[in-house]
Amino acid sequence: MPLQAAIIDLDGTMVDTLGDFVVVLHHTLADLNCHPVEVARVSREFIEQTVGKGTEDLLRKTLAHAWGLLDDDAEVLAQLPQALARYKHHYERLNGQNAQVYPGVATGLARLSELGVPLACLTNKPTAFAEQLLTLKGLRGYFRHVFGGDAFERKKPDPLPLLKTCEALGTEPARTLMVGDSSNDAQAARAAGCPVALVRYGYNHGHPIEEVPALVHVDSLDALDWPALSLAADSGA
């Protein structure tokens, strides 16, 4: 069959981490002496529409939103290094405590593993936090490789992380399925030449995921039909 391996996103695809982001960002803002009203502006809904393009991007937009500024404002950029340090401190100690594995993820990964499909996790979350979260949730053993947003020179939606992950897996991009939850994943996959499968839950910046072209849209990871996906990829569907 034409498909040789799968690359799977983490936040919004395997684990619902919004609860982690809410708690960690609120602690970070409090450490920066933000007013409670400013902290409250950073709601779960805001984070759901903002997360996905890396820690620095999330923090920059969070500070700007809390303070009512543009995300390239000088005050935002000046506070970013301190915010990043506090964010990393809190994320390391709270990682996974307010996060849940989506239904069907463990079953879906087990099925792919039983079929002998090599798997890699590719996320914009820092690698150490991704490794920690996967281990805490009992998912680390399914993956040959785990690459975070700090693993390569650029992050998704740039295609470089996918191309480098394919190299690590020893597979061709056209024969490596990207599984994600957002246009971010789909854009990176298209640019890298990888077919893409998208889950219908997750965080797609507030837009319906069905609007994003994909080989298939599924309700859960255990709905991935590897033989059918291989045939569809081979036919160019």
What pLDDT is attached to residue 215?
Answer: 95
What pLDDT is attached to residue 206?
Answer: 86
Which residue bears the tokens 């500070």? 63
Identify whether 227 is preceded by a cis peptide bond (ω within 30 of 0): no
**Is residue 176 within a helix (H) or strand (E), and if so which, with residue range?**
strand 176-180
Q: Which of 9, 11, 16, 185 is an active site residue?
A: 9
Which residue type, as a one-letter code, is found at position 236? Answer: G
| pLDDT surpasses 70 at 65 | yes
Q: Over 109-155, what HEC string results?
A: HHHHHHCCCCEEEECCCCHHHHHHHHHHCCCHHHCCEEECCCCCCCC
Q: What share of the chain is helix, strand, coil (3-state, %, to 5)?
A: 50, 10, 35
| pLDDT surpasses 70 at 1 | no
Active site (annotated) includes residue 9: yes
**pLDDT bucket at 52, cuts 50 / 70 / 90:** confident
- What is the average per-residue pLDDT within 76-100? 97
| pLDDT surpasses 80 at 179 | yes
- What is the average per-residue pLDDT within 82-96? 97
What pLDDT is attached to residue 2?
Answer: 87
| pLDDT surpasses 80 at 196 | yes
**28-to-23, 56, 90, 126, 137 alpha-carbon distances in Å:** 9, 13, 7, 17, 24
**pLDDT bucket at 233, cuts 50 / 70 / 90:** confident
- What is the average per-residue pLDDT within 67-96? 96
Burial class (CB in 10 A: 0-12, 13-18, 19+), 221: buried
| pLDDT surpasses 60 at 237 | no
